[in-house]
């Protein structure tokens, strides 16, 4: 790839791309992310739609906030189990609203820490600032 | 405690960028492509099902940690490493090393790095960066993905260092302890190329190397079966672009950086054939970049029917063919 073809004007996400310089040598250039520059709107649209869809499932009492965050943060049940030190069979129960509502604070804390949210956000299935900041962070 | 004088430099990739920065700090002048090439960083692996991944995915670099290990073996650099069972021991050791003025590489889950924009974050336990100081309750971080040093609060670094799960960091820290002032790069370069060719051509596992690229090409048409809905499929297909371009590869799934290594290596080992091969790999990389752009476009347009997925599959299969020929020639060129 030639240097002039590699430049993307995206100060919000900078990266290093290896390119062919004018003198024929290959080397690094600092540039921006093509996908962030061109498709970040689409990313936030999909994230917003995912939140709406998962919250509808919570409202229909099909899933609990544990399942919400597991899907939102792209974690498998095995990963969540290894990270929270909660057995798989218990997590499967915690993904259902009835069981989730009876969880003690220490278990809620373990989930909240892994999902990097407060307990309040966990209970409300609120992923925090990511979506609120979508407009502000748009390149 | 304040920041240790450290020359922050952006790198294409977190592990090779981190190792390069630390070696440069210790007095050894070496480029990131040279570190990546000597460590046999170029790779391919496809995972159709894996207990730690929610969707089929692929990797384009060797196993995390192998850059450092191969540099140790091939350049004779001794690294001091630490991992911890108890979090408090890991926190105390990091603070002690910083107090002694030692910049330290740390392995973390990328998700907890608060300085990373939300759309870039993912739970990946194998991100590497250098901790270069501490002010109050904040660490100063030299992360090669970012143009300048960043700040990170103690709690976020703790969560990142001690995240559980697949390839859990366990607070892992390392820094070069004994670095030769001068190294003869000829043998390490040849060894690095030899191992890279073995990894791409000879590992007897169906999902690794050229076989892995072919498997990716064959199985990508099945991706719609794994998706919750069209938007989910779109997201995963567009991640092909991110994995090849944005997730610290230097472009085209490390092919451009490896081409740079081969161009630098040609002069050092006096094998002009490597220079021709570096040009060939640059062109192969352009083909990977076409795949990236195609994936982003069909994902954005939700144009993800069987015909487009087949077209994507054919583009990937073509890369397998050209890379197989390339690595066979590369292997011959160093005999």
The helix/strand/coil state of B60 is strand
Closest chain A C-alpha to B102 CA, distance in angstroms: 26
Alpha-carbon torsion (B121, B44, A2, B297), positive or negative: negative
| pLDDT one-digit tens code per residue, B177-235 | 999 988 999 999 999 999 999 999 999 999 999 999 999 999 999 999 999 999 999 99
C-alpha distances (whole Å) from B114 to each of B147, B154, B160 are 15, 11, 10
Q: Where are the beta strands (DSSP E) in chain B?
A: 42-47, 57-61, 78-82, 104-108, 127-135, 138-142, 150-153, 173-178
Residues A116 and A57 in one domain: yes
Q: B104 pairs with which residues across the strands?
A: B131
Nearest CA in chain B to A42: B300
Nearest CA in chain A to B10: A16
Contact A20 B282 (CB under 8 A): yes
Cα–Cα dist B238/B293, whole Å: 9
Give the residue-averaged pLDDT of B10-24.
98
Residues A20 and A63 in one domain: no
User: Tens digit of pLDDT per residue, chain A (139 long)?
Assistant: 999 999 999 999 999 999 999 999 999 999 999 999 999 999 999 999 999 999 999 999 999 999 999 999 999 999 999 999 999 999 999 999 999 999 999 999 999 999 999 999 999 999 986 655 544 444 4
CB B292 within 8 A of CB B241: yes
Q: Which residue has the tokens 């502000």?
A: A136
Cα–Cα dist B177/B13, whole Å: 22
Contact B146 A14 (CB under 8 A): yes
Residues A59 and A120 in one domain: yes
Residues A49 and A26 in one domain: no
For chain B, what percent of residues have pLDDT higher than 90? 98
Arithmetic mean of pLDDT over chain B? 97
Nearest CA in chain A to B118: A130
For chain B, what percent of residues have pLDDT higher than 70? 100
| pLDDT one-digit tens code per residue, B54-84 | 999 999 999 999 999 999 999 999 999 999 9
* Per-residue model confidence (pLDDT) at position A137: 47
* Per-residue model confidence (pLDDT) at position B1: 63
- A79 vs B52, B117, B289: nearest CB: B52
Contact A40 B123 (CB under 8 A): no
The CATH fold of domain B14-178: Cathepsin B; Chain A (3.90.70)
Give the other-Cβ count within 10 Å of A27's Cβ: 16
Q: Which of A138, A12, A73 is nearest to B163 (CA)?
A: A73
Q: Which residues of chain B from 39 to 98 reach within 8 Å of chain A, CB to CB?
A: 51-54
Q: Which of B183, B196, B184 is nearest to B333 (CA)?
A: B196
Closest chain A C-alpha to B110 CA, distance in angstroms: 12
The answer on pLDDT for B120 being more than 90 is yes
Residues A43 and A97 in one domain: yes
Using the Cβ of A119 and the Cβ atoms of chain B, whether some distance falls under 8 Å is answered with: no
| pLDDT one-digit tens code per residue, B131-186 | 999 999 999 999 999 999 999 999 999 999 999 999 999 999 999 999 998 899 99
User: Total domain count for chain A?
Assistant: 2
The answer on pLDDT for B276 being more than 70 is yes
Residues A57 and A112 in one domain: yes
Residues A11 and A69 in one domain: no
Q: Which two tokens stand for residue B326?
A: 């390339």
Tell me the CATH number at A81. Answer: 1.10.260
* Per-residue model confidence (pLDDT) at position A131: 58
Supply the range of the domain harboring residue A19.
3-32
Residues A56 and A14 in one domain: no
| pLDDT one-digit tens code per residue, B30-63 | 999 999 999 999 999 999 999 999 999 999 999 9
CB B10 within 8 A of CB B146: yes
- A15 vs B111, B119, B246: nearest CB: B246
Residues A27 and A52 in one domain: no
Q: Which of B95, B72, B57 is nearest to B212 (CA)?
A: B57
Residues A106 and A51 in one domain: yes
Which site among A16, A27, A34, A40 would you substitute to test the B interface, given the most B Cβ atoms closer than 10 Å to its Cβ? A16
What are the chain B neighbours of A73 within 8 Å (beta carbons)? 111, 123
What are the chain B neighbours of A76 within 8 Å (beta carbons)? 51-54
Q: What are phi and psi of A61, to 5 degrees?
A: 60, 35
Residues A26 and A45 in one domain: no
Using the Cβ of B159 and the Cβ atoms of chain A, whether some distance falls under 8 Å is answered with: yes
Q: Which residue has the tokens 């076989």?
A: B211
Contact A17 B246 (CB under 8 A): no
B180, B186, B187, B189 alpha-carbon torsion, rounded to 10°: 100
Higher local confidence (pLDDT), B231 or B2: B231
């Amino acid at each position: 790839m030639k240097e002039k073809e590699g430049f993307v004007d995206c100060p919000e996400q900078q990266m290093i791309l290896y390119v062919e310089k004018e003198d024929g040598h290959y080397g690094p250039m600092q540039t921006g992310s093509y996908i962030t520059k061109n498709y970040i709107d689409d990313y936030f649209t999909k994230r917003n739609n995912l939140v709406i869809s998962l919250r509808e499932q919570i409202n229909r009492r099909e899933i609990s906030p544990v399942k919400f965050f597991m899907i939102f943060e792209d974690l498998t049940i095995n990963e969540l189990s290894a990270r929270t030190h909660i057995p798989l069979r218990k997590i499967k129960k915690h993904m259902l609203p009835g069981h989730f509502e009876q969880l003690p604070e220490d278990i809620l804390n373990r989930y909240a820490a892994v999902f990097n949210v407060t307990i309040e956000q966990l209970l409300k299935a609120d992923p925090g600032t990511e979506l609120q900041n979508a407009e502000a962070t748009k390149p | 405690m304040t920041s240790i004088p450290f020359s922050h430099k952006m790198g294409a990739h977190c592990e090779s960028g981190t190792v390069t920065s630390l070696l440069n700090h210790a007095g050894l002048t070496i480029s990131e492509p040279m570190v990546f090439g000597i460590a046999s960083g170029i790779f391919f692996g496809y995972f159709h099902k894996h207990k730690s991944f929610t969707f089929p995915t692929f990797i384009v670099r060797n196993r995390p940690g192998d850059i450092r290990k191969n540099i140790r073996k091939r350049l004779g650099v001794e690294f001091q490493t630490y991992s911890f069972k108890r979090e408090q021991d890991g926190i105390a050791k990091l603070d002690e090393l910083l107090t002694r003025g030692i910049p330290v590489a740390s392995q973390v889950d990328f998700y907890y790095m608060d300085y990373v924009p939300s759309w870039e974050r993912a739970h990946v336990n194998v991100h590497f960066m250098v901790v270069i100081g501490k002010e109050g309750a904040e660490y100063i971080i030299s992360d090669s993905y970012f143009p300048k040093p960043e700040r990170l609060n103690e709690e976020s670094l703790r969560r990142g260092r001690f995240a559980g799960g697949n390839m859990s960091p366990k607070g892992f820290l390392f820094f070069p302890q004994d670095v030769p002032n001068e190294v003869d790069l000829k043998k390490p370069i040849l060894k690095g190329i030899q191992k890279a060719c073995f990894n791409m051509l000879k590992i007897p596992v169906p999902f690794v190397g050229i076989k892995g690229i072919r498997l990716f090409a064959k199985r990508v048409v099945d991706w719609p079966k794994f998706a919750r809905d069209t938007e989910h499929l779109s997201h995963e297909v567009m991640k092909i672009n991110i994995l090849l371009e944005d997730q610290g590869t230097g472009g085209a799934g490390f092919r451009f950086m490896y081409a740079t290594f081969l161009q630098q290596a040609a002069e050092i080992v006096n094998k002009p054939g490597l220079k021709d091969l570096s040009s060939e790999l640059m062109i192969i990389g352009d083909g990977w970049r076409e795949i990236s752009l195609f994936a982003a476009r069909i994902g954005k347009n939700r144009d993800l029917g069987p015909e487009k997925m087949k077209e994507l599959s054919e583009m990937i299969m073509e890369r397998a063919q050209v890379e197989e020929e390339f690595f066979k020639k590369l292997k011959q060129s160093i005999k």
